[in-house]
């Protein structure tokens, strides 16, 4: 299957946001040093349509391990695979809403992540491109309940206006830096994340994550969810 196919056209049992689908193995790592806010990232694959990048390799059948690399420092993230950078997440904190921008390797903004203010469940909204218009809402995520002992998020696609049933669930323990993403209320796993312990990351007090993304699941969608999860769990000063 071509890597440029959208997720919804490749998955028969559900429709996901119209991100590109990336195939191949990636890693998630936290770095103790920030990247320059204006640096452009080198492309790791062919640019498609001016704002999309493909990553070589397709996996068929069974889950495949994505060694995703998420380099995090003061709201800055980079996501890499063995060939180089796939995404970068940049921040805009000097505004009423905290915002993150998920960019491809060429620096094009794929989605905008925005924290919704004055909400008890710490809701974040994710929009197509640089838009924050309701018509461009891809999905939103919020805590399943106000008081939680373990991480649990409800994820709703933009078309799910009633929000009676979540389209995805995120369950895990953020203290241990692990979570599983499920399709709706089913037991169908979309992706899993756990913390990897190494001497280097222990000395630097940095997180090192391994993320397993199942076949036909959009990497950009999972990365956006991981960023939202990180923000919700690290934001302990706002309304609970």
Transcribe 132-173 into DSSP letters: --GGGEEEEEEESSSS-SSEEEEEEETT--S-SS-SEEEEEE
List average pLDDT for each run of 10 residues in the chain, which is 240 residues long.
Answer: 31 39 52 40 29 29 44 61 80 69 90 84 90 94 83 93 95 81 94 72 58 82 88 59
Q: Give the integer Cα–Cα distance in Å for 51 and 113.
A: 17
* pLDDT recorded at residue 27: 63
DSSP characters over 104-129 = ETTS-EEEEEEEPSS-TT--EEEEET
CATH ID of 24-31+52-57+64-234, from 1.10.1760.20, 2.40.160.200, 3.40.47.10, 2.40.110.10: 2.40.160.200
CA distance 31 to 114: 23
Which pairing describes strands 189-195 and 178-183: parallel, antiparallel, or unpaired?
antiparallel
Distance CA 120, CA 142 (A): 9
* CA–CA gap between residue 168 and residue 189 (Å, rounded): 10
* pLDDT for res 215: 81
What is the pLDDT, as a whole number, of residue 35? 38
pLDDT at site 7: 33
Is residue 69 within 8 A of residue 80, CB to CB? The reply is: yes
- C-alpha 8/C-alpha 16 separation (Å) is 5
- Contact (CB, 8 A) for 105 and 84: yes
Is residue 178 classed as helix, strand or coil in its secondary structure?
strand
CA–CA separation, 14 and 7 (whole Å): 9
Q: Residue 127 and residue 63: Cα distance in Å, rounded?
A: 28
> What residues does each domain of the chain span?
24-31+52-57+64-234
pLDDT of residue 18: 41
Residue pair 30/196 in contact by the 8 Å Cβ criterion = no
């Amino acid at each position: 299957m071509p890597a440029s196919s959208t997720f919804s056209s490749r998955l028969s049992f559900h429709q996901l946001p119209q991100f590109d689908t990336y195939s191949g193995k990636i890693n998630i790592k936290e770095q103790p040093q920030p990247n320059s806010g204006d640096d452009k990232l080198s492309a790791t694959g062919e640019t498609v349509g001016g704002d999309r990048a493909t990553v070589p390799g397709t996996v068929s059948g069974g889950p495949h391990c994505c060694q995703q690399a998420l380099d995090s420092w003061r709201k800055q993230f980079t996501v890499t695979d063995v060939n180089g950078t796939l995404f970068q997440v940049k921040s805009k904190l000097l505004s009423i809403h905290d915002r993150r921008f998920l960019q491809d390797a060429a620096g094009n903004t794929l989605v905008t992540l925005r924290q919704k203010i004055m909400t008890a469940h710490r809701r974040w909204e994710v929009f197509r491109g640089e838009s924050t218009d309701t018509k461009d809402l891809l999905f939103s995520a919020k805590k399943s309940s106000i008081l939680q002992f373990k991480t649990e998020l409800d994820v709703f696609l933009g078309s799910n206006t009633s929000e009676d049933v979540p389209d995805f669930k995120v369950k895990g323990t953020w203290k241990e830096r692990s979570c599983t993403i499920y399709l709706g209320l089913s037991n169908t796993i979309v992706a899993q994340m756990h913390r990897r312990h190494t001497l280097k990351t222990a000395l630097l007090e940095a997180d090192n994550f391994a993320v397993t993304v199942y076949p036909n699941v959009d990497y950009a969608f999972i990365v956006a969810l991981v960023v939202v999860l990180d923000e919700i769990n690290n934001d302990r000063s706002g309304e609970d």
